Amino acid sequence: MANLFLDSLTIQNFRCFQDFKIEKLARVNLIVGRNGVGKTALLEALELYASRFNPSVIQKLLLLHDEIKAINENMKGLDIINMVGHLTYGRKFNDLPIVIGDSHDNLLSILIRKHMAKVDESIRVIQHFVKALIPSTSLQTAPIFLPNIVIKLGSEAERIYLLEEFFNNNDQFEGSKLAGPKWSSIGVKGLNNSEIAAYWDAVTLTELEHEVLKALQIIEPRVVSLAFIGEERQGRKRIPMIKLAGQNERIPLRSLGEGMNRMLGLALKLVNAKESMLLIDELENGLHYSTQPIVWRMIFQLAQQFNIQVFVTTHSIDCIKGFNQALKEHPEVGLLLRLRRRPQTDEVVAIPAKKDKLELFISEQLEVR
């Protein structure tokens, strides 16, 4: 079996995680816990890690929680610092780096500084903000007060960006960022029609079409074919249509319920996620409880087949039951992690569920909301 992208995890100074560790991860990881304990925050940390702290990803996460308005070129460095401070532990800017990554030697850190202690002579003549990466190896001793961001991976050299340019010139970041694993995600609302259509185009007329149809047949066994109708222009969307066995007319996929759309998005993400990390928030949304065991078998199978490391959150005991059934068939593939807060310190910790204790976990109907 191929190596995992992360075989352990450390998160420091990020959202609810002050100094959080998971000693061992699996290919398919299910994360459970009460509301507000940090399940979605853990997925966000993984997204930042895989994207190498891409500024567009940072803004997306802040906007998703209504923590900022869109960062624009009129905003000054200190304004940006105060908004990005929502990502740090305690939701307030501090002088500590956010650290995410493998617990051994592959830690990625980002540090936001209100000023730069040293700057290269060639950067000192600043009539406007420099649209370039400042290599830390060329820094000298002249002080200058410019808010900046420092990104570092393991033992590699630091990459230093002027803060305003970091958020307002994404091309600069893309041209200089550290290499990271491929990744994709499915949020609680699933994928929109445009995203689904693009993923379908990537697999149409290939053997992967069969895997997608098999996934739809979990909900509606009569599905025999799928196509997208229409053009993506002037607000119009391409519509997924299906053909059912024994019927001549094609019908809109959504006419069979939102669960079909959720299943289509999930299947398409999986077959397009070869050699990557896949993050799924609240897998159970839109899916009937009776489909959970088959859905989990599909996830386990495709994760192994295409070398995908999957991280899933859930509020559903039925989702956990389905996971447990798939885990019995492939005990080496999956891991259930329960997040909880220590009563006295409020520290968030991860407790791996022992495989022989999962039945007890389920039978007691432990509160996972």
Q: By C-alpha distance, which of 226, 249, 248 is closest to 239?
A: 226
**313 lies in which domain range?**
185-363
CA distances (Å), 104 to each of 9, 100, 101, 313, in order? 9, 11, 8, 24
Residue 3 lies in a domain: no
Check residue 143 and give its pLDDT: 46
Q: What secondary structure does DSSP assign to 274-305, as a single string?
A: TTEEEEES-TTTT--GGGHHHHHHHHHHHHHH
Looking at the structure, tell me whether residues 195 and 334 fall in a common domain: yes
Residue 368 lies in a domain: no
CA distance 237 to 341: 44
CATH no. for residue 317? 3.40.50.300
Quick count: other Cβ atoms within 10 Å of Cβ 87?
24
Average pLDDT over residues 158-172: 77
Count: domains in the chain: 2
Residue 337 · residue 311 · CB < 8 Å? no
Looking at the structure, tell me whether residues 148 and 255 fall in a common domain: no
> Is residue 365 predicted with pLDDT exceeding 70?
no
- Which domain-ending residue is among 120, 144, 179? 179
- With b for 16 or more beta-carbon neighbours within 10 A and e for fewer, the 57-68 pattern comes to bbbebbeeeeeb
Looking at the structure, tell me whether residues 298 and 354 fall in a common domain: yes
Residue 283 lies in a domain: yes
Average pLDDT over residues 271-281: 97
Looking at the structure, tell me whether residues 214 and 242 fall in a common domain: yes
Residue 327 lies in a domain: yes
Average pLDDT over residues 164-192: 80
Check residue 116 and give its pLDDT: 57
Render pLDDT for 312-328 as a digit per residue (tens, 0 to 9).
999 999 999 999 999 99
Residue 153 lies in a domain: yes
Render pLDDT for 192-217 as a digit per residue (tens, 0 to 9).
888 999 999 999 999 999 999 999 99
What's the mean per-residue pLDDT of the chain? 85
Looking at the structure, tell me whether residues 212 and 82 fall in a common domain: no
> Is residue 293 predicted with pLDDT exceeding 90?
yes
Looking at the structure, tell me whether residues 159 and 210 fall in a common domain: no
Render pLDDT for 100-122 as a digit per residue (tens, 0 to 9).
998 666 899 999 887 654 544 33
Prediction pTM value: 0.89
Residue 16 lies in a domain: no
Residue 68 lies in a domain: yes
